[in-house]
Structure 1
Amino acid sequence: MITDAQGLSLTGASREAAAHFDQAVNAFNLYRGDPIGALDAALATAPRFAMAALLKVHLMAVATEPQASEAARELLAEVADWPLNEREQSHLVAARHILAGKWSAAANRLDHHHTEWPLDIVALQVGHLVDFFRANARNLRDRIARTLPQWSADTPGRHFLLGMLAFGLEENGQYAQAEDLGRAAIQLEARDCWAHHAVAHVMEMQARHEDGVGWAMSREPHWSGDDNFFQIHNWWHRALCHLELGQIDAVFRLYDGPIRASRSAVAADMVDASALLWRLQLAGHDVGDRWHELGDAWNAHADGHSYAFNDWHASMAWLGADRMADVQKLEARLRAAGQGSEAARWAGETGADLVSGFAAFWRGRFGDAIESLWRARSISNRFGGSHAQRDVIDLTLMEAALRSGKRSVAEALVRERLAQRPHSGMNQQLLRRVLAPLRDTGATAPQAA
């Protein structure tokens, strides 16, 4: 019987094909190398190797890109007619749910999958990403926590479970445990950039921005290679630290250098670029014509029904590039998405309000922006991203309140932020802006936090 590195049987595999498959899984775990190339090599050797094809489907499905999703559907239809064992059939069902926009159904299928096959590292990683894309913080942690005890210390890939659990703990506010596990994962595998990223999130949430820059720089050789799929997101985390520290030249150097110099057309990379330019613009910095290149890059991705989180970030770039007509069309598509799937509900219930709110802000209609963003902010964690990524919603809402002169709203929002991150320089600066009108008029200001 041919098995993978964790000892699970592989239908249709040869020993040579299984070696290519393990290479692909390792590349997927590390977000490094070419997993698709390794899977194609496996399928060239064993043309009906089920898990090789199913992993390829998963990779294309979680890319959240329209063309990749269509290719995944075509391959999945082919695989459905192949001989599959029970575990592989479970993968097929989960992939179908993802491609149908039924993210929670996929997550539930994988929850049950792990109880039967706890050593299935592909299912664990796909499940972790599904939990991320639907912003289910509890399951980001608990999916791994309930499975990790089944992994012995010498099971290949165990470091990656520690890194995934670290990220889940961070998203649940368990920062000390998250940092300890992230560092432990890196001790086992220095190239584990998901674990590096989990620690970076901890430092962001705790407003330890000097530590964040130092962490990124000290680990840079391990995550910044050209073959690292996650490098741009880790550069983004470093850029956020520089932005909080007021080191704006460093932020622009990172944007024009490793974040955007390659003109990546990968949706995840463009999300980071949009969010960083928007934050710079919010802070009053001139980003020049950078929006135009990025807006053009979004053209092939923002379709109003694949993944609303991406569409919202596309709208930021189109607003910056003065493409209001495209933003209005996108909002209309999002509102018309209906109730056909979970992804459609995300589009209509959250994505449309975010696009509308950001467009209103850009046009100086700050009251409308407050109304839309206040409605969306409480449910935005339904449709994806991390706390750090979704923070741009509250930053924009805060800025709309300040610019509209709604001081009481602005003060309530900044007090909320300071309760979570009292040592954030950005939050303290926002409080000073809120209180400045009171000082100017000689009114008595509340005690600053």
Structure 2
Amino acid sequence: MEKTLRCVRWGYEVNTSSDDCIDAINSYFQQVLSYGRKRKVILEAPLYDNDCVLGNILAAHYLSSSDPSRANSYVEAAASNLVSLEQSTPYEQAVYEAVTYLISEDRDDDLAFEMHTKLLNRFPKDLASLKRAQLLCFYMGQPEPFLGLVQQVLPANQEESYIHGILAFPLLELGRMEEAAAASKKGYEINKEDSWAHHCLCHVLQHECRFKEAVEFMEALAGSWPSCSSFMYTHNWWHVALCYLEGGSPMSKVEEIYDHHIWKELEKDDAVPPEVYLNALGLLLRLDVRDALDGFEDRLKNLAVRLTNQANWYLEWHLDILIVWALAKVGETSRAHELLEGLKSRLSRMNKKKQQVMQKGIQLGEAVFEFARGNYEKALELFGSEFNAIGYKIVGASDEQIDVFNEMWCQLLLKTGQSSTAKEVIRERIKIRDGVPFMWRLLEKSYSMEGNAEAESSAGERAKKLESCYF
């Protein structure tokens, strides 16, 4: 069939011979924005029109992390049809240039972000490109430039529900919780099934220690999550479990969520196991840091068996660091060490700029390895005396995900007898979030170690009161 100009959902022109190709591209855009579990629909676009530049380059991006060699064939197909404006439109060319650089082996993250900024300056309605930029900034640990980019395209997308959830995330990462809540609510009001808006509002409620409210809000909406990707489905449930845990709920609620909404996800035919493992490990590590892993040891062992499979390694730094902890915790120290050495080898092959940034990832992995083995003095030495997990977000973790390492540091201070330092660190944390029972229990422990019975009793009473008021 003859190629003609057809428009994708944003209203931008694409040169293709097939309406079905456009439908597949639009379905993919919807899956990206909704965190749907059918993102592979983009692979249908080149089947309908194997000369479509946009269909091929989006298929390449979809496959870039899971099947790079196959992704290259789609890049080549897109490139071969990029010769002139007669075969590709300015929009297709802009997306092609941004995506090919994004998935290149030795990219510079700042330049990749700059290219997406230029693309969105010309084509501000392309929210799929905005989501790529969001992920890029997330792994750079830099919410501020992404907030600027969202604000740049916001005027062209005011009535689009997904833009408001996208806006909410950098706001909450920058501590602008009131604005983040307002943006999340606006997205939710336009589209009740926007799981990312649900997630962002839960972040805010959780940060403000409104645990019961967060749980009620999320559980009322959970019926819309089964259509989400393995990551989004289990991640939203991870947040719910964390609210129960932080609010001092009986451990049975955490067990129920782990068993029925995280581990059980692996039974689904279209599940993506690494996306599940990330949230499963994130929850179990929280329990370990709280000395509450009793009753979950078999679950951790079952999980660790799967994590000895190297197919689950080197997918992303945050997951690798959690795998190091899990393997070391169950006694698979040689495999944990092998993974750490593999990360160091990958670091050595990065450019100098990237090496300097990601060295912190190695340091965090080594500290977690020693913590899991009970080598607390060594772990604390690796963390250092001025540790702040926010500086380690480059491993690809949100404030909430990375904060477990701050909790780990507090525990290490106590476990190595440094109660005075621990006390000051814990007090500072309580100033920011005074409604977390666990922090008051740590403060109680620090006072106990110092023999301050009155302060110990006061902290313990505060913890007890909080533990009884949420659930």
Shared fold, TM over 0.5: yes
Aligned to 2:53: 50
Q: Deviations over 1:247-279 (max 9, x none)?
A: 211111111111112335433321111111111
**CA distance, structure 1, for counterparts of residue 202 and residue 72 of structure 2:** 35
Name 2:145's counterpart in structure 1. Answer: 139
Which piece of structure 1 moves more, 91-100 or 207-216? 91-100
CA apart distance, 1:447: 9.1
Matched with 1:258 is 261
Match of 2:119 in 1: 113
Give the deviation of 1:101 after TM superposition. Answer: 5.4
CA pair 302-42 structure 1, distance change in 2 beyond 3 A: closer
Alignment-mate amino acid for residue 276 of structure 2 = D
Which residue of structure 2 aligns with residue 217 of structure 1? 219
Out of 410, 428, 442, the position equivalent to 1:398 is: 410
CA distance in 2, matches of 1:117, 1:280: 45
Tell me what 1:78 maps to.
77
Task: Give the 3-state SS of the residue equivalent to 1:109 in structure 2.
Answer: helix
Change beyond 3 A, Cα 1:68–1:296:
farther
Aligned partners of 2:434, 2:118: CA distance in 1, in Å? 40
> 1:370 touches 1:401 (CA, 8 Å); kept in 2?
yes
User: How many pairs align?
Assistant: 438
What is aligned with 1:170?
Answer: 172
Which amino acid is the alignment partner of residue 326 of structure 2?
A: A
Q: How does 1:197-236 map to 2 (within 5 A)?
A: 197-225=199-227, 230-236=232-238
Q: Report what 2:110 is aligned to.
A: 104
Q: Secondary structure at the match of 1:11?
A: strand
Task: Name the amino acid aligned to 2:40.
Answer: I
In the alignment, which residue of structure 2 is the partner of 1:360? 370
- Please give the per-residue CA displacement for 1:42-62, whole angstroms capped at 9, x wherever unaligned: 22221222222222233334x
Structure 1 residues 111 and 255: alpha-carbon distance in aligned structure 2, compared to 1, 3 A threshold: same
Which residue of 2 is the match for residue 429 of structure 1? Answer: 441
1:349 and 2:351 are equivalent in the alignment: no
Query: Secondary structure at 1:111's aligned position in 2?
Result: helix
Task: Give the aligned residue type for 1:3.
Answer: C
Distance in 2, matches of 1:146 and 1:133, equals 21
**Match among 4, 10, 20 for residue 6 of structure 1:** 10
1:313 equivalent in structure 2: 322
Contact persistence 1:140–1:167 (CA under 8 A): no
Cross-structure match for 1:181: 183
Please, what is the CA RMSD of the aligned residues?
2.6
Q: 1:444 to 1:316 in 2, by over 3 A?
A: closer
User: What is the DSSP-based 3-state SS (H/G/I as helix, E as strand, rest coil) of the residue aligned with 1:6?
Assistant: coil
* 1:16 Cα offset (Å): 2.5
2:44 aligned partner, one-letter code: A
Counterparts in 2 of 1:360 and 1:289: CA distance versus 1, 3 Å? same
Structure 1 residue aligned with 2:30: 26
Distance 1:343 1:89, change over 3 A: farther
The aligned counterpart of 1:87 is 91
Q: Deviations over 1:302-331 (max 9, x none)?
A: 545x53222112212212332111121222
Relative to structure 1, the CA distance from residue 416 to residue 52 in structure 2 (aligned partners, 3 Å threshold; closer, same or farther) is farther
Alignment CA distance shift 1:284-1:33 (3 Å): closer
CA separation of 1:5 and 1:352: change in aligned 2, threshold 3 A? same
| Whole-angstrom distance in 2 between the partners of 1:254 and 1:227 | 17
Secondary structure of 2:348 counterpart: coil
What displacement does 1:232 show?
0.7
Structure 2 residue matching 1:260: 3-state secondary structure = helix
Distance in structure 2 (CA, Å) of the matches to 1:132 and 1:76: 25
CA contact (8 A) 1:346 1:383 kept: no
Decide which structure has the larger Cα Rg and report it.
2
Kindly state the Cα deviation for residue 238 of structure 1 after the two structures are TM-superposed.
0.2
1:29 positional shift:
0.8
Deviation larger for 139-148 or 166-175: 139-148
SS class of match (2:13): coil
Return the match for 2:383 from 339, 351, 373.
373
Q: CA deviation at 1:430?
A: 1.9
Letter in 1 for 2:273: V
Mean Cα displacement is larger for which, 398-407 or 72-81? 72-81
Which 10-residue stretch deviates more, 78-87 or 322-331?
78-87
Provide, for residues 16-67 of structure 1, a one-character-per-residue CA deviation record: whole Å limited to 9, x for no partner. 2212221221121111241212x23322221222222222233334xxx5x3
Partner Cα separation in structure 1 for residue 457 and residue 353 of structure 2: 43
Show structure 2 runs of 5+ residues with no match: 83-87, 463-471
Maintained 8 Å contact 1:134/1:381: yes
- 1:45-104 CA-to-partner distances (Å, cap 9, x unmatched) read 21222222222233334xxx5x34444344323322222434333333333343325333
- Opposite residue 365 of structure 1, the aligned amino acid is N
| Aligned equivalents of 1:418, 1:346: Cα separation in 2 | 32
Please point out which of 430, 435, 452 is paired with 1:418: 430
Relative to structure 1, is the Cα distance of residues 135 and 320 closer, same or farther in structure 2, using a 3 angstrom cutoff?
Answer: same
Alignment correspondent of 2:419 = 407
Relative to structure 1, is the Cα distance of residues 385 and 427 closer, same or farther in structure 2, using a 3 angstrom cutoff? Answer: same
Greater mean deviation of Cα atoms: 277-286 or 342-351: 342-351
Q: How far is 1:106 from its partner?
A: 1.7
Query: Is the CA contact 2:34–2:228 (under 8 Å) kept in the aligned structure 1?
Result: no
Match of 2:85 in 1: none
Amino acid at match of 1:18: I
Shift of residue 198, structure 1, vs aligned partner:
0.7
Corresponding residue SS for 2:350? coil
Quote the Cα distance in structure 2 between the aligned partners of 1:260 and 1:343. 38
Specify whether residues 425 and 70 from structure 1 end up closer, same or farther in structure 2 by C-alpha distance, changes over 3 A only: farther
State, as a whole percentage, how many aligned pairs show the same letter. 21
Q: Which has the higher mean CA deviation after the structures are superposed, 376-385 or 234-243?
A: 376-385
Is 1:289 aligned to residue 298 of structure 2?
A: yes
The TM-score normalised by the length of structure 2 is 0.86
